Chain A
């Protein structure tokens, strides 16, 4: 890395920093069958910059990244690395060219040690035999350089996801990478973990690495990146300096149209603000808890009310949702659904009582990729009817068409395979799956995570509409803005219990943050006493 001496001045003109780009992709086109995923896109990456790749889902970001990392071959266009035109035929060819990648899902082997995960494929060897001690030593040196305190000889699977992600980055930079691609590295990290990641990124930037950063979190983009390339529908929209843009302008560049929806929603919700009807709660939990995952918690949800669960990852928000749905069984407390006392031992019982739950793990706990959109949608309804009473095909058609239209699912083809849909559209199909069962209570766990701004706005709009029609909604999200925008009441969780509940009148993000942080301070004081 040290041989790249070009240093980027802080306020370079929009044309890009001086010096030569370390990687230039010019006029890249890639097609899959009849679909043109990338159409004449150009990107330049300079040493010592953090470069954001922006665009909605389906804009071509992933395709571009996979072209740069050698996973996909390109149909036309050129890739130039340090002035030499190269052909990146495989992931290892890209790595040899100095381009390393950390993917959204941690792509390491949890059964091997930290050091092995960092060094595999380039271990120090003596006469063909791996020198484990030298390997651990080198891994330790790289980890130290990034400021990470992890034992190289420990098994990777014993560490939390955030650490695994940082190890993946350590692997990527150990090769003296010139270009480091981080594809949605923060989607499963807490705020302090993100900060740690950014510290590592800043160190690498200072060392002259060009970092490509992909994230759906606009705040993070504006915090860490220097320049960005914006894509829409497989085409290049533009290349900008981050400092020259506002968030609003960026979103406009990315989507244009859908932004209005968000603003309209905001206005509508502000205007409404009448508060929910004070009827019988559709769900009442008293002292609900489960050993090791949630301390006794009370919660009430009334029809037409959106209850937002705020809190950090691991605060108990998902655990509470799973208990409410019977995905885990509770040890303590009671649960009333629509006034009837119940004990949920399995999701099936919750479904029978008209409770629906959209899991945060869309891919593993929701989407069945090899089934069609229609089949995915009808799954829950069929389950409530039992396998002996098939849904008449006319009804199937009608329901599916209705929801595809209502939720604006694209492609609007009931027979399309689920796995070919973008994340946002998959999420809408899953939402439709539960709406078809006509639930009284809808539990949404991170329904907008990892989907693009347009689909996000649509889903938020939908949640607001559903509540207006009398559904009780439990809404969980890591994004406080989103929770506050939608909720009538905000419940804050911390350390596996509820620490605060207030109706959402003029609650600001800062208030909730203070509740979370304030409690921590109180505890510290308590512990010292």
Chain B
């Protein structure tokens, strides 16, 4: 504990000022709003998120200026279609990293999942049984890793490294060759286009609802200053997405995207609205404290690896939809892409701070880099790695600066 952090002692008996509804400029309504805007200080959790959002939109802007059609609705939507599996992986990884851990096994588990799915289908299993088997394998692997980490007090890095080799090795045990997937259900899930374009009147309704919802959120919040900017940003993003969906009447997406977005939504609810989720954050903040608070640290620590294992196998299924084959060499190094997405999305590697939505944005940023390269045509695909490397570095340094600013 450092003495520098505390305000000068003396008569001050109320050390913590309430985020005041009674700020000086509380007079006229626009004046109040302007004051709230001007004095807004995003929490340390939101700064990286806003930065990632700005980065993503900025990249789209630059791409739109340089290449024709870069910002067309379908291209932007394809960012999700092409990276749905990575979104799901990043969600699982966010759980793990929030507790201060890491999961290096997810890339191998993706490969194993494609193998298990392809192999069981080849063996004549029903597609639903194949999907259930795949999800079970991944979840059980994650669960076992978690048990090892918790009960033998093994470094997550080492335990999941073991899991990474194990899962990759199991792939070869199933088959050295690539196994094609020819199942109709998988085919359907992989390529059936879902029309999601909004007619103008539908778009109008959506925007209206958004506005109403945001207003309600503002009214409910005690502190205008801390709520105004996030609400405005949310409103802006919501309107932008709606306009995108209205932009092209032939717009379609796939079930993979639906599954990925559903995963994100469920993860947000779990992390913020359940005791499990809050314990995840508590462990990341201070595991010893969480233990002394009487929280179920063991259960949650094992749980996050099971969640990550589940997400990895679900991501593996989406990857199988995408590739329509099972292969031992699928998804080599994908765990690192997932970690990069989580870091770029603003989650602190030390744990305790970060948002799933950030990880979604992180994946979109990675996707945009790839789109850049395919649109340009002259750039080598290795530029993807270089840019990702630079971005991860920038974001890690930014996190460092932000946490240092904290008392």
Q: Which of B1-40 contact A (CB under 8 A)?
A: 1-16, 18-19
Contact B353 A111, beta carbon cutoff 8 Å: yes
- Cross-chain pair count, CB within 8 angstroms: 137
Are B4 and A293 touching (Cβ within 8 A)?
A: yes
| Bound Cα distance A180, B292 (Å) | 14
Give the residues in chain B near A160, CB-CB below 8 Å: 5-7, 15-16, 407
Contact (Cβ within 8 A) A157 B8: no
* Residues in B whose Cβ lies below 8 Å from that of A71: 292
Interface pair B43/A196, CB less than 8 Å apart: no
Contacts of A188 in B (CB 8 A): 1
Is the pair B269, A129 in contact by a Cβ cutoff of 8 Å?
Answer: yes
B42, chain A: closest CB distance, angstroms:
12
**A519's closest neighbor in chain B, by CB?**
B10
Q: For the complex, what is the distance from the CA of A192 to the CA of B11, rounded to whole Å?
A: 8
Task: Tell me if A151 counts as interface (CB < 8 A to partner B).
Answer: yes
Q: Which residues of A contact B334 (CB under 8 A)?
A: none
Partner of A123 from B18, B278, B294 at Cβ < 8 Å: B278
Q: Are A111 and B8 in contact (CB under 8 A)?
A: no
Write out, one digit per residue, whether chain A residues 188-199 have a CB within 8 A of any chain B CB (1) or not (0): 101011001000
Q: Is A153 on the interface with B (CB-CB < 8 A)?
A: yes
Of A9-17, A100-108, A431-439, the one with at least 4 CB within 8 A of chain B = A100-108
B121-129, B147-155, B280-288, B303-311: which one contacts chain A? B280-288
What separation, in Å, do the CA atoms of A161 and B9 have in the docked complex?
A: 13
Q: Does B223 contact A (CB under 8 A)?
A: yes
Interface of A is mostly: loop
CA distance A121 to B288 in the complex (A): 15
Chain B interface helix/strand/loop/mixed: loop
Q: Is the CB of B282 within 8 A of A151?
A: no
From residue B75, how far is it (CB to closest CB) to chain A in Å? 37
Per the bound structure, the CA–CA distance linking A109 and B18 in Å amounts to 20
**How long is the Cα–Cα vector from A140 to B5 in the complex, in angstroms?**
25
Contact A121 B294 (CB under 8 A): yes
Note all chain A residues with C-beta closer than 8 A to B10: 192, 312, 495, 520
Judge if A422 is at the interface, Cβ distance under 8 Å: no
- Chain A residues contacting B15 (CB-CB under 8 Å) are 159-160, 162-163, 193
Q: Looking at the assembled complex, report how far the CB atom of A184 sits from the nearest CB atom of chain B, in whole angstroms.
A: 13
* Other-chain contact of A107, B220, B273, B289 (Cβ < 8 Å): B289
What is the distance, in angstroms, from A294's C-beta to the closest C-beta of chain B? 10
Taking a contact as CB atoms under 8 Å apart, the answer to whether B274 and A313 are in contact is: no
**B19: which A residues are within 8 A, CB to CB?**
151, 153-154
Complex alpha-carbon distance, A130 and B274, angstroms: 6
Docked pose: A133 CA to B219 CA in angstroms: 13
Contact partners of A103 in chain B: CB under 8 A: 292
**B145: CB under 8 A from chain A?**
no
- Residue of chain A at shortest CB distance from B351: A111
Question: Considering only CB atoms, which chain A residue lies closest to B353 in the complex?
Answer: A111
Q: Which residues of B contact A (CB under 8 A)?
A: 1-16, 18-19, 43-44, 220, 222-223, 226, 269, 272-275, 278-279, 281-282, 284-286, 288-296, 352-353, 406-407
**Pairs of residues from A and B, 8 with the lowest C-beta to C-beta distance, nearest first:** A109-B285, A92-B294, A111-B285, A111-B352, A129-B273, A107-B289, A160-B6, A107-B292
Other contacts beyond A91-B291, A112-B278, A314-B4: 5, CB < 8 A: A91-B294, A123-B275, A130-B274, A160-B6, A161-B5
Residues of A within 8 A of B (CB): 71, 90-92, 95, 101, 103, 107-112, 116, 120-121, 123, 125, 128-130, 133, 149-151, 153-155, 157-163, 171, 188, 190, 192-193, 196, 292-293, 312-315, 318-319, 361, 495-496, 520
Provide a sorted-by-A list of 29 A–B residue pairs whose CB atoms are within 8 angstroms. Answer: A90-B294, A91-B293, A109-B286, A109-B290, A111-B284, A112-B281, A112-B282, A120-B278, A120-B282, A129-B269, A129-B273, A130-B275, A149-B18, A151-B18, A155-B44, A157-B407, A158-B406, A160-B5, A160-B7, A160-B407, A161-B1, A162-B6, A162-B15, A193-B9, A312-B10, A314-B3, A314-B4, A319-B4, A495-B8
